[in-house]
Homo-oligomer: A and B are copies of this chain.
Amino acid sequence: MSKCVVVDTTKSPWARLRPVPVNTVKLRDSFWMKRIEVLRKVTIPTQYEKLEETGRIENFRKVARGDKDIIWRIADDSDVYKWVEAAAFTLAYEYDPSIERMLEEVVEAISSAQDEDGYLFTYYAYDRGSRWSDLMRMHELYCAGHLFQAAIAYYRATGRDKLLNTAIRLADHIADVFGPDRRSGAPGHPEIEMALVEMYRQTGREKYLELAEFFLDQRGKGLLGGDIVLIDHKPFRELDSMVGHAVRAIYLCCGATDIYLETGDESLYSTLERLWRSMMKRMYITGGVGSRYHGEAFGEDYELPNVRAYAETCAAVANVMWNWRMLMATGEARFTDVIETVIYNGALSGISLDGKRYFYVNPLADRGGHRREEWFSCACCPPNIARLLASLPGYFYSTNSEGIWIHFYTSSTSSIELNGRMIGLIQETRYPWEGRVKLEVNPEKSDMFSLFIRIPEWCEEVKIIVEGKEFKRRILPGTYLKIEKDWDYGDTVEVFMSIKPMLMISHPHVLGNTDRVAIRRGPIVYCLEHVDNPGFDVWNIIVPPDVQLREDFRPELLNGVVMVRGRAFVIDSKVWKSKLYLPLRNMPLEFSEVEFRAIPYYAWANREPGPMIVWLRSLMPKIPPERTRACRLSS
C-alpha cells in the first residue's frame, strides 16, 4: 500500500518536490479544520445521498444486473468517481466507519458494472457498437480518467485493490483500442492524461505514460473539428495563450505537466510556462478562471466581467491542481501564491459554510439572485470541490533532499518523513486572520536540513525569528526562504507576516474595473454584501483612495471572520429613475457618507440574498501636474 498522496512525484525524475501523504498533517482548531470537519460530517454523506437519489450509483448496479432502465447522462459516472476520490482522501485523513461503508458499497457497484473486456461507461453499457465512436461529445475517456484517480486514492487510502484492478482493466482496454499503431482519437474533455500518468506512477506500467503522451499529441489534428473551445485548433506545443473551455484547458495542462514531470520534455515545459503566463492575464483576483459563459471558456486578456463572471468552481479546482503540479516541477512560490489565492477565494466560494450547497458559477458582483444550490443536473462541481478539500491536508508541505517545504499556514501537528527520518512539525497560528506563525521543529534526533518557508507574494513586510534571533537576510515576498541549520527537538521559528487590509487595483485594460478597488487582507479577498450594509446599495459605494480600514475578528460571524470596515460615500442611483444615459453635466451629485462592512468573498451568499460586490468604485487620484508630460501626436 502506498501512502495517500495527491500527486505522487516521489520518483518523478523531473520533480523538484516530493509530496507528503494527506494524513501527515493533523489540523488543529483552525480555519481549515472546521471546513474539513464539515466536509466529513456533511458534504461526503449528503453528496452520497444525492448520487443515490439521482440514480448515478444505481446506474452501475443496473448495468451489473442487466437492467436497461439507465438514466443517461454522459458525465454521471465521473460524479460518482470524484466522490469516491473525495471520500477516500477523507478516510485517509481520518478514519470514519460510515464513510468506509459508503465507499465499499460504491466501489462494489462500480466494479460490478465493468464489461468483460474491461470497458466501463454506463452510458454505452448496452450499446457496444457506439463505444469510442464520439470522443468529442461522449465523456468516456473523461470518466475513465476520473475512475483511475478514484481507484488510486481509494487504494492509497485503504490498501484495497478492488477498484484499482477495475481501473487497470479499463486502462489496459483503452491501451488496446488507442495508440500510435491503433485507433487515433482525442478526448473531447481532457482528464485521462493526468490520470494515466498517475496510473503509471502507481503501477509502474510505462504504457500508461505513453498513452497519456499519445492523447496529448492527438490534439490540434482536427480530430475534434479544430474547435478552439476543445483546444483542438493547434497542437499543444504550439498554443500561445490559454483559450477554450477552462476546465478542459487546465486539465490538459495538468496532464502535460504530469508528462513533463516524468519525461523532462522541455517543449512541454516551455508551453506550460507560456500558457501559465497567459492565464495570469485571464484570472480573477479570487483565482477564478474561465470568464465566459459562452463555452465556459477563457476570455481574451483582461476580459474579466464581474457580474457575468463564469469562473466555474471546477475551473478553480483545476487551477489548484495545475499550479500544484507546476510547483512540484519547479519549487517556485509563484505557483503556491496562485494556489493560496484560489483555495481561500474562488474555489472556497463554491461551497456553502454548511457544506451542502454549491456554486457552479462564481460571480464577483450580483444583485442577489445568484444562490448556491444543493445539486445540479450536470453535477461536476460538488464532488470536485469535495475532492479538493478532502485532499487539502496533502498540500501543506512537500519535501526534497534538502529539507521540508512549508507551503501554507494553519494550526497543525505533522510528522514528516525526510530522508528516512521523521520530523515533527507543529504550527501555531491564527492564519489567515493573523500573520504570526510559530513553528516548532521536532526531529527524532538533532538533524541538519533546511526549512523552506513560503513568503506570500502579498506580504510586503515580514520578520522571521529563528530560536529567538531575528533572521537578518533580506526576505523577498513571493519566494521560499531557506533556513538551513542543525535542528534540535523543540527549536522554534517565528514568522511575522504583516496582514493588513489593502486596496487593490486592476490592469487598466480590465475595462470593468476602471477606478475600482478590491479589498484584500492577506490571502483573503473581501466583498460587500447587502446584509451587512442594509442602509445603502453596495453597488453604489465610492471608497476614497485614502480610506482608513478597520478590522476586527468576529467569532460569531460566518464561522468566524475578520470583518473590514471603513467610511465611504454612496450615491443614490434611484435619482436616475428610468434613465440609462445622461449628459455628464446632468450627473446627479448627491452623496451620503456611510460606514461599510466587508466580509470575505468566500463567505458570501450564506445569509439573506442581496446585492454583493468585490470591486468597489473609488476615486481616481488627481493627476499631479508634475507627473504629466506632453506627447506629440505622430500624425
Contact = CB atoms under 8 A, between A and B. Distances in A.
Interface in A605-635: 615, 617-624, 627-635
A367 interface: yes
Contacts of A591: 623, 627-629
A622 to B, nearest CB: 8
Nearest to A573: B508
Given A504-B582, A581-B285, A591-B628, A515 B512 contact: no
A299 B308 contact: yes
A472 interface: no
Contacts of A299: 308
Nearest to A587: B505
Interface stretch (A197-205, A446-454, A485-493, A533-541): A533-541
Given A305-B512, A307-B300, A581 B504 contact: yes
Interface string A438-449: 000000000000
B367 A593 contact: no
A128 interface: no
Copies of this chain: 2
B634 A535 contact: yes
A303 interface: yes
A356 interface: no
Interface string A565-606: 000011101001011111111010111111100000000000
A514 interface: yes
A502 B540 CA distance: 24
B589 A300 contact: no
Interface in A261-287: 277, 280-281, 283, 285
B539 A505 contact: no
Interface of A: 277, 280-281, 283, 285, 292-294, 299-300, 302-303, 305-308, 365, 367, 460, 502-512, 514-518, 533-536, 539-540, 542, 545, 569-571, 573, 576, 578-585, 587, 589-595, 615, 617-624, 627-635
Give 3 nearest A-B pairs by CB, closest first: A592-B631, A512-B512, A503-B584
Given A507-B580, A535-B633, A619-B620, 11 more contacts: A283-B580, A293-B294, A502-B584, A508-B540, A515-B620, A517-B584, A534-B634, A591-B628, A592-B631, A593-B629, A594-B631
25 contacts: A277-B578, A280-B578, A280-B580, A299-B308, A302-B580, A305-B308, A305-B512, A306-B511, A460-B583, A502-B584, A504-B581, A505-B582, A505-B583, A507-B576, A508-B539, A508-B573, A508-B576, A534-B634, A535-B631, A569-B623, A584-B618, A587-B621, A592-B628, A593-B631, A620-B620
